[in-house]
Amino acid sequence: MSINISTYKTKNVTKTKKKNDSFFSKEVSFGNRFSDKDKMDFYKELSVLLNSGVDFRKALEILKDQQKKEKHKNLIQGITKEVVQGKALFEALRDSGKFSPYEYFSVKIGEETRKLDEVLLELFQYFDRKVKMRRQLLSVFTYPSFVLLLTFGVLYFMMKYVVPMFATVFKQFGKDLPNLTKKIIFVSEHFSTISIVFGTALISIIAFHFYFKDRTFYRKAISNVIIRIPFFGKLVRKIYITRFCQSLSLLLSAKTPLVTSLDLVQRMISFYPLESSLDMIKKEVTKGTLFSKALAKHSIYDFKLVSLVSVAEQVNKLDDMFERLAKQYDEEVQHQTKMIGVIMEPLIIVIIGLVVGTVLIAMYSPMFDLSKIIQPS
């Protein structure tokens, strides 16, 4: 798609408050939330209807009638009402409060250039990739989470019922027990207290996170910790770089000015290292610095990305290059998430075996030495 709107200025972008959502944000729509999955369907169906020659008002009415949730029907009805009253679609989307600047600015481009169906299709493809990536990540962590929860249940049962039974038997003999057995019995006797302390600490951490999650110092600290986690940190960085490339690909292919594109991307990707770097990159580019040189000053962007962007600048093909980079990074993310699943499943089984095995050994080892513990009457 080649759309020339190079005369657009950064001032066309309406500032909105940014929500700090992680890459594990839920795609399922709860309450009045219009999820990424809902947006994916909305853009796809609206694009198909408009491309088929259905007039704009009728297309929105069809989409409204297809919605199963009343809040979604009301949302599309409100958008339709504003469009009928003479507002542009991008204004209706913006005023609804359910769409990001990235989305309604892209729609504005489509309306101004009479390429709305193409822009809507590209927005569908963007959210389709985003939803697929999230589903893949969730599928990788669902099994380990279930197994860990099951393990905690088994451990709780053993500490509350099995270990106390053994402890009662051991006390009847009145002899010293192995240190490991003593420690397991101690944990069992204080398991309720330990559980309360652990639960309180967990709730406190969660409350602390939600209270400070929008504070710059906290977001910076958390991001630095995540990036330094072996293997997982690289995956998280690559996920956000993929989104960065996908977003720039769409905006630059529509001939959106680079600084405007960077501004939109900065406000839609809530990952502190990227956000802070883009703030400085925008200033550098505005002063006349090459985009690739501005990127090279920040470690979040790897050598491959910087090198290919430098080549793309020379041939004036930034949009094509970011599209290719997005596909490459997306493939790498898919491969790495599969590897996480392959590694984590046996690793968790080993950990579970060690935990349960340690408890069993601690309880049964004194039983094997009964001949030394039992005194003849």
Task: List CB contacts of 28: < 8 A, sequence separation 6 or more.
Answer: 35, 37
Residue 351's pLDDT band, with cuts at 50, 70 and 90, is confident
Task: Please tell me whether residue 302 adopts helix, strand or coil conformation.
Answer: coil
Q: What is the pLDDT of residue 376?
A: 53
DSSP 8-class letter at 376: P
Q: What is the pLDDT of residue 369?
A: 67
Q: pLDDT tens digits for 109-132?
A: 788 777 888 888 888 988 888 888
User: For the domain with range 10-127, which CATH number is right: 2.40.50.140, 3.10.129.10, 1.20.81.30, 2.60.120.10?
Assistant: 1.20.81.30
Q: Which of 55-59, 95-99, 171-175, 363-367 has the lowest mean pLDDT?
A: 171-175
Given a cut of 80, whether residue 29 has pLDDT beyond it is no
Q: pLDDT tens digits for 296-348?
A: 999 999 999 999 999 999 998 998 999 899 999 989 988 888 888 788 878 88
Q: What is the pLDDT of residue 293?
A: 95
Q: Per-domain residue ranges for the chain?
A: 10-127
Residue 14's pLDDT band, with cuts at 50, 70 and 90, is very low
Given a cut of 90, whether residue 285 has pLDDT beyond it is yes
Q: Which of 20-29, 40-49, 137-146 has the lowest mean pLDDT?
A: 20-29
Gap between the Cα atoms of 207 and 356, Å rounded: 31
> Is the CB of residue 346 less than 8 Å from the CB of residue 262?
no
Residue 117 tokens read as: 């169906």
The per-residue pLDDT of the chain, averaged, comes to 83
> Is the CB of residue 136 less than 8 Å from the CB of residue 341?
no
Given a cut of 60, whether residue 24 has pLDDT beyond it is no
Q: pLDDT tens digits for 354-373?
A: 888 888 888 888 777 655 55
Given a cut of 50, whether residue 10 has pLDDT beyond it is no
Mean pLDDT of 182-205: 90
* CA dist 314 → 296, 319, 377 (Å): 16, 13, 95
Given a cut of 50, whether residue 27 has pLDDT beyond it is no
Given a cut of 90, whether residue 141 has pLDDT beyond it is no
**Percent residues over pLDDT 70 in the chain:** 89
Q: What is the pLDDT of residue 314?
A: 92
Q: What is the pLDDT of residue 134?
A: 84
Residue 107's pLDDT band, with cuts at 50, 70 and 90, is confident
Gap between the Cα atoms of 116 and 108, Å rounded: 8
Mean pLDDT of 149-175: 83
Sign of CA dihedral 65, 59, 29, 342: positive
Q: What is the pLDDT of residue 202?
A: 92
Task: Please tell me whether residue 270 adopts helix, strand or coil conformation.
Answer: coil
Q: Which of 44-53, 201-210, 245-254, 276-285 has the lowest mean pLDDT?
A: 245-254
DSSP 8-class letter at 189: H
Mean pLDDT of 53-70: 88
Q: What is the pLDDT of residue 207?
A: 95
